[in-house]
Amino acid sequence: MEFTAIMFIFGAYVLGSLSSAIIVCKLMGFEDPRQGGSGNPGATNVKRLYGNKPAAITLVGDTLKGLLPVLAAHWLGFTPEQIMAVGFAAFVGHLYPLFFGFKGGKGVATMLGVMFGLSGWIGLAVAATWLFVAKVLKISSASALVATALAPVYIYFISGELSWVVGTAVMTVILFVRHKDNIQRLLKGEEGQIKKQAKNGNPSE
| Residue range 194-203, pLDDT digits in tens | 654 444 444 4
Give the residue from 69, 162, 48, 75 showing the smallest Cα distance to 111. 69
Task: Band the pLDDT of 44: cuts 50, 70, 90.
Answer: confident
The arithmetic mean of pLDDT across residues 163-167, rounded, is: 97
CA separation for the pair 177, 87 (Å, rounded): 19
Return the percentage of the chain with pLDDT > 70, whole number. 93
Q: Tell me what the mean pLDDT of segment 33-55 comes to.
A: 85
Count of CB atoms within 10 A of residue 101's CB? 9
CB distance 130 to 186 below 8 Å: no
Across 118-147, average pLDDT: 92
